[in-house]
Structure 1
Amino acid sequence: AHQGISNMDVATDNPETSDGISPAHLSTGQVAFFLAYGWVICLWLLSEFLNWTRKPSQDVHAEDDLEQKKHLLEDGSGQKAGNGETVKAELPPPGSTTPKATAYAGASHGLLADMASSHLVRCALLDTEAIRKELPTLRAMVEFGTLMVWYYIADRTDIIPSAGKSYSRDLFIFLFVILTCVAIGASMQTVKAPVLLVRQQTEEWKGWMQVLFLLYHYYEAKEVYNAIRIFIAAYVWMTGFGNFSYYYKTADFSVGRFGQMMWRLNFLVFFACVVLRNSYMLYYICPMHTIYTVMVYAALGIGYQLNQKPNWILIKMGLCVAAVLLLWDCKPVFYAIWSPFTWLMGYLDPRKPGNDELYEWYFRSSLDRFIWIHGMLCAFIHPWWSSVLTSIDAMPAAKRTVVRSTIVAGCGVVGYFWYTQVYVLPKVEYNKVHPYTSWIPITLWIVLRNMTPTLRLHHLRLYGWLGCITLETYICQFHIWMKTTIPDGQPKALLSILPGYPLLNFALVTAGYVFVSHRLFELTNTLKNAAVPHSNNHLLLRNCLLMACAGVLLYLTTYGAMHLFIRQIL
């Protein structure tokens, strides 16, 4: 079976499991990860010891440390990074430098000398001063690695038993209603102004959709499949809406900002693929958001000088539609473009063997191929839309009531026909019309959710908090809430810490699952800010080269060791 980006195996024979599926031996990537994890633990312990035994009189560089904690990055010449402005970032990882470290290189020594003086290299060479200063970053790396080890233990070992899934419509609805009541009663908050589609509202939107999405997977609630398809389309819609809004308002097409987006979308999933030997496409939401983020970036970044001209924005959106028609509606074109990337985008379910490795990518991405453009369009007309709502709010009470009632009635009629003609279709038939109709319920929800200032002012913080960690909860659900048990397997079983007590087990496992998801969200952002500076391209290039070189060196070393020693033992 295809193993995607994590297909770094050196084993050829696989013993059978209880379900008849053969598990793979540890791959080179997995062994490399565990070796790196052990090495980072050693560096972290040494850093803790050095900081614990350090005397106050030895703190001759207190000012430098203070500046580092304030996240100021400087280049080798001692000038402020970027275009003459100070760059804010998190504490640099072992791959970054402090002002003192960059002095070793100097501008005249070039990139290689700068790389050699980085904290990554200095930590690898056991430079105690560098190790001591990197304590916060080493803590984050150790915690992240520990959570990845928990992924492996929970999903790929028999230490924690598994249980089967069972669906109860009553329980499914009950859980969502209870959580919503708690959110309304305990987390209702207001924003400063009744802004259309304010961030807190979109986070809330993502949150309650994610709850239903996760419950759908946990209980295998097949009867709400069509609703889940709409929720996924709404996520992609937000990709178009959010990215367009940012680029259109800021014109910030910097490599650093784009790199931060890619890190946010793919850092966790990369390590999940390596540690669990899964394909990238197992977590199809990640490549979908990645490709549509890239397309929004390209649409506005190419000829960005024209973005202030409305006609050109509409032309660009038209070109996006044409590109979608060419890339997805002409299937041979899609396969011709993506075939060279089968190693990355290919996927075969080991429980349902087939031979078309790109089918999953084609199917998943084609379902929502238009909705991101609708998101861009909504972001483009956002000012006009906001002015319409403001004018309605300013109308006399009687007229305002009539206008709002008319809009609500119109939404009801459209929603009724959409529901009776589209939503109730069987799964296969619905999927055929979904790309062309998903914008209808999304638009109706936006209109109704923002109809009055009161609705725009209030949001549910609990759902908003969950909405911030949707990516992490999506990935974590496969391995520490449910179980896949095999590489590239779908989560067909549930994690069962309390066998025989399904509801208590659900509560306990869910609490741990949400906690881990939140920690991974925090750690991803911490390491992102440390490794991917926004405005210092020189530092960004250096960090990327260092991480790539370190990864390749670690992989090749592990690969050689496994072939030279482990194979001889076996």
Structure 2
Amino acid sequence: MAYFGLRKLENLKIFADRGCFALLLAVIVSNVYRHYVLDATDPYKCGALLNDGQWLDSSDHGPYHIWQPPGCMFHEYTTPDIAQCMENRMILFVGDATVRHTFWSAVRKIDADWVFEEQARWDIPQGDVDFSQDGVSLKFIWDPWLNSTALHEELERFRARQILGRQIHTASSPQRSGFRNGTTSLIVIGGGMWHARHLQSGSLERFKKSVDAIVSAAYPQGLSTSSRIPPYDGDGSGDQIFFQPIIEPRYERLSPSREGSITPDKINNMNDYLQELSTKGHSVLWAQTKMTRNRPRTYGESGLHVIENVSKRIVDVVLNAHCNSHHARKESILMDRTCCMSYKPPNWIQMIGLVGFFWTLPYAAVAIARSTKLPITPEESASRIPVPLLTLLFCLGYCFLADRIQIFDKVPKQYVTEDFRIILAIVILPCLLTIKGSSTSTIGRRSSSLLANNPSFLSRKQFDEFKGWMQIFILVYGYTRSEDILDFYEVLRVFLAFYLFLFGYGHTMYFLRTDDFSLRRIVAVLLRLNLLTVLLCFAMARPYTSYYFVSLVSFWFPVIFVTLRISRHRNASFRRLLGKVLSSATLITGFVHTPGILEAVCSAIDLLFHANLNAEEWRSALGVDLYIVNIGMLAAIAHIRICAIFNMTESQRSDVHDFIHDCFGGLQVLAIVASVIILPVFWTLTRRSPDREDYDWWMPFVSWLPILSIIVLRNATSFLRSHHCAAFAWIGRRSLAFYVLSQHMWMAGDSEGLLRLFRGGDGSLAHDRWRELVVLTPILVWCACKASDASAAVNAWTLGERVAYRDEGLENGLHKRSTSEIENPSGMKSDDSRLSKDAKRRLLGIAAAVWVAGLTT
């Protein structure tokens, strides 16, 4: 029976491998076809941005705040964004009152008070307006007939810059940008309403004449070419002209004097002519028409002007079209906007990875078709190391394909309260069906105490289970954009602190149980923590610290090691061990909060490795969880001490030991009662925090309260200690792979947005995004599993081992050689704790390769 059970499980794994791989291939092929065939005329989504889109508003946001062009991430521009894009160049608005309304909305993005004051004292309703602040200059020229001298002077200068730009096309970027400083880079032109209102006949001909004059004055080729005008030049953004279409008014709201002259025929005829202009490659903001069509609430009382929210989104359309590629080429990491954007060309490492990905595709297909395992498991021979390396290359290549080129559509996240709860429930409820008893359950039932002599207290499976359900929360939190909700952020911070607590607890248990402070142990842990993450950093051209938690635990492991390694012979003394942990906490506090120290360290690392560390970001990241690792260490020390007390004979125990031994049952009940009280009190009090800054200030001092309460309640009875959720534990063992890969396989733009596979829909989970979840979630789970196993195999090969524990670093420092080091109190140190010469050579080679790659990319 056991044989048939294993055979059935193996067949199920083979079926899952084949199904997930076929699904991944189908996703790649369909997106490649869409990009190179269906979207061949609009590869950068410029046309989609200018011409199409939909409102994604829900009851959570109010009306008309979230505009979404199809297939790309739309960015709401702020003052620093605009200033960085324009680089001392001007944005010019020319036209009638409709364009002036757009101008006011653009200025409000920078200084809303100035607009209010200017409009209050403005006594020239048909005059020009100038604005300059924070490195941004905007100007409005009143020209409803689109034939003023000021406009044509600007157009002549625009045309001269176009000719000059072609002449120095091969010049360097400083030369190219220098000749444009102080000039107008972006012009928004709109008119036609006066033509409709004040001309009873000939309005269309007059409008055509004005538009033709503008085009012929601005572009050397005039209207004689059908080639598309590029949305940007070599340094990111060239001079551009955008035409604002004539807004179709709400005719029933027009005043009597306008109602008779502004007719649908006149408006439609002029817009039809602008449509002809679009077919010749000129930029017309047809998204404005999409925003207002069949939506009466988008108009103001006059029926001629749109409301402020709509007008701001029109400005954002212009800025996204003009600035996105400029930002992408200026910034090393900027993935929150993909409309009308060309990604940076891949560097040499990314090219190798991309070629390797397509090279591994046929190999993977053949391996899976033959029912062989794509990734070698850690238990297999290290001589087959190319197999796990190819597996990692396969996963990295897919991440690059999905999140570093335009083949896959990306859209911004949208928070909806119900979506968060629904996804969380859909994932958690099936997982709860996998609750089962642990192999040590019979031992656990014989003990009624929480800690003493109870091997199932905080066992390996409990560690993995904790990490699993916390990882699920973190994934759903990121997918649904719940970071904007303070309540969910507070839960996230407790869970991140919980990870660090487990990290400190587990490694302390390992070091004190085994006394293994070897170089091999350091290398093994840091390699498990960083292998997949560092490879992703190079593949995705991201800084190391962008994978927040990996860099955080990589900092804390050496702290734990050094704290326990110094005067290791004194670790048997409870008081001295306690003193070392408290001294470590004091030194780290000074290291983090003393001005200049962290800055010097970050500067040195940046100089040596080009790591681009931000000292203030690190200070914030370390400070918010400053003491939780030390508290985890203290919890491990207390556990070991209590276990030692229960293993003492009566003659060996002191009075304090007798009290703990005799009253432990009562202390256990007291701990459970306190935990039941602490949890609701903690959440009630922390919800009074007005913002993140206030909550983060309290976290270093109080985060341990809910963590210890959860652990105590999780181990309150022998039944709870002897059972675990297998699905949560399975995810927990691969939590690092889920964490890093989800940012590119499940989400997009380095977790700033979401991958999009299908078109249409309203952006909601129930009627739209469920399709991506159904398709992409199996791919993420499969790739995380494969990458986790492959990483463990590479680690084993590097260290010259045949067996490696398949845990990614958010782990408790326990070998797989026993069910749990906590359950192995022998304290025997491994005989094989030294690195072999081959392992040292491999490590030196890896370190040199990483250093060279960091300096050259």
2:840 to 515, 518, 541: 541
* Deviation digits for residues 315-352 of structure 1 (CA, Å, limit 9, x no counterpart): 2112111112211122332223332123569658xxxx
For 1:222-371, list aligned pairs within 5 A.
222-223=484-485, 224-342=488-606, 357-371=614-628
1:202 to 454, 457, 463: 463
Matched, 1:30 2:350: yes
Q: Determine the C-alpha separation between the residues in 2 that align with 1:173 and 1:517.
A: 24
* Deviation digits for residues 74-123 of structure 1 (CA, Å, limit 9, x no counterpart): xxxxxxxxxxxxxxx8634xxxxxxxxxxxxxxxxxxxxxxxxxxxxxxx
Give 3-state SS (helix, strand or coil) of 2:775's partner: helix
Over 3 Å counting, the alpha-carbon distance change for 1:70 and 1:140 in structure 2 is closer
2:776 alignment counterpart: 509
2:45 alignment counterpart: none
Q: Determine the C-alpha separation between the residues in 1 that align with 2:472 and 2:350.
A: 31
Over 3 Å counting, the alpha-carbon distance change for 1:518 and 1:331 in structure 2 is farther
Shift of 1:30: 2.6
Q: Determine the C-alpha separation between the residues in 2 that align with 1:41 and 1:508.
A: 22
For 1:427-442, list aligned pairs within 5 A.
427-442=692-707
**Equivalent pair of 2:519/2:835 in contact (CA under 8 Å):** no
Shift of 1:518: 1.1
Shift of 1:281: 0.9
**Equivalent pair of 1:14/1:24 in contact (CA under 8 Å):** no
Amino acid at match of 1:189: G
1:459 alignment counterpart: 724
Matched, 1:213 2:474: yes
Over 3 Å counting, the alpha-carbon distance change for 1:550 and 1:336 in structure 2 is closer
Over 3 Å counting, the alpha-carbon distance change for 1:365 and 1:381 in structure 2 is same
Amino acid at match of 1:311: R
Q: Determine the C-alpha separation between the residues in 2 that align with 1:395 and 1:182.
A: 42
Shift of 1:546: 3.4
Q: Determine the C-alpha separation between the residues in 2 that align with 1:274 and 1:300.
A: 33
**Equivalent pair of 2:377/2:790 in contact (CA under 8 Å):** no
2:674 alignment counterpart: 410
**Equivalent pair of 1:28/1:555 in contact (CA under 8 Å):** no
Give the TM-score of the pair, scaled to structure 1.
0.71
Amino acid at match of 2:406: D
Shift of 1:180: 2.7
Give 3-state SS (helix, strand or coil) of 1:24's partner: coil
Q: Determine the C-alpha separation between the residues in 2 that align with 1:293 and 1:553.
A: 25
Relative to its length, the structure with more helix (as a share) is 1
2:787 alignment counterpart: 520
For 1:490-501, list aligned pairs within 5 A.
490-499=750-759, 500=761, 501=768
Q: CA RMSD in A?
A: 3.6
Give 3-state SS (helix, strand or coil) of 1:494's partner: strand
1:472 alignment counterpart: 737
**Equivalent pair of 1:280/1:345 in contact (CA under 8 Å):** no
2:316 alignment counterpart: none
Shift of 1:549: 5.3
Over 3 Å counting, the alpha-carbon distance change for 1:424 and 1:211 in structure 2 is farther
**Equivalent pair of 2:498/2:707 in contact (CA under 8 Å):** yes
Give 3-state SS (helix, strand or coil) of 2:437's partner: strand
**Equivalent pair of 2:353/2:396 in contact (CA under 8 Å):** no
Give 3-state SS (helix, strand or coil) of 1:495's partner: strand
Give 3-state SS (helix, strand or coil) of 2:385's partner: helix
Identical amino acids, percent of aligned pairs: 21
1:531 to 773, 791, 798: 798
Compare CA radii of gyration and give the structure with the larger one: 2
**Equivalent pair of 1:189/1:459 in contact (CA under 8 Å):** yes
Q: Determine the C-alpha separation between the residues in 2 that align with 1:215 and 1:359.
A: 28
1:447 alignment counterpart: 712
Q: Determine the C-alpha separation between the residues in 1 that align with 2:579 and 2:354.
A: 50
Shift of 1:417: 3.2
2:231 alignment counterpart: none
**Equivalent pair of 1:40/1:138 in contact (CA under 8 Å):** no
Q: Determine the C-alpha separation between the residues in 1 that align with 2:672 and 2:794.
A: 46
Give 3-state SS (helix, strand or coil) of 1:197's partner: coil
1:565 alignment counterpart: none
Amino acid at match of 1:540: A
Q: Determine the C-alpha separation between the residues in 2 that align with 1:449 and 1:38.
A: 44
Give the TM-score of the pair, scaled to structure 2.
0.48
Q: Determine the C-alpha separation between the residues in 1 that align with 2:854 and 2:545.
A: 22
1:167 alignment counterpart: 415
**Equivalent pair of 1:345/1:358 in contact (CA under 8 Å):** no
**Equivalent pair of 1:279/1:347 in contact (CA under 8 Å):** yes
* Deviation digits for residues 372-401 of structure 1 (CA, Å, limit 9, x no counterpart): 000101111113556899999x999xx97x
2:436 to 184, 188, 194: 188
Over 3 Å counting, the alpha-carbon distance change for 1:538 and 1:167 in structure 2 is same
Q: Determine the C-alpha separation between the residues in 1 that align with 2:730 and 2:353.
A: 31
Over 3 Å counting, the alpha-carbon distance change for 1:216 and 1:70 in structure 2 is closer
Give 3-state SS (helix, strand or coil) of 2:754's partner: strand
**Equivalent pair of 2:592/2:623 in contact (CA under 8 Å):** yes
Shift of 1:153: 0.3
Over 3 Å counting, the alpha-carbon distance change for 1:70 and 1:168 in structure 2 is closer
* Deviation digits for residues 393-433 of structure 1 (CA, Å, limit 9, x no counterpart): x999xx97x87665443223333332232344121110111
Moved more, 13-22 or 195-204: 13-22
Over 3 Å counting, the alpha-carbon distance change for 1:206 and 1:550 in structure 2 is closer
Shift of 1:510: 1.2
Q: Determine the C-alpha separation between the residues in 2 that align with 1:459 and 1:551.
A: 40
Structure number with greater CO (CA < 8 Å, separation at least 6) is 1
Structure 1 spans left out of the alignment, 5+ residues: 1-10, 53-68, 72-88, 93-133, 349-356, 485-489, 560-570
Amino acid at match of 1:339: S
Give 3-state SS (helix, strand or coil) of 1:238's partner: helix
Amino acid at match of 1:184: L
Amino acid at match of 1:369: L
Runs (4+) of structure 1 exceeding 4 A deviation are 11-14, 32-35, 38-42, 343-348, 384-392, 402-406, 548-556
Amino acid at match of 1:24: K
Q: Determine the C-alpha separation between the residues in 2 that align with 1:318 and 1:409.
A: 28
Q: Determine the C-alpha separation between the residues in 2 that align with 1:277 and 1:308.
A: 46
**Equivalent pair of 2:360/2:394 in contact (CA under 8 Å):** no
Give 3-state SS (helix, strand or coil) of 1:381's partner: helix
| Number of equivalent positions | 450
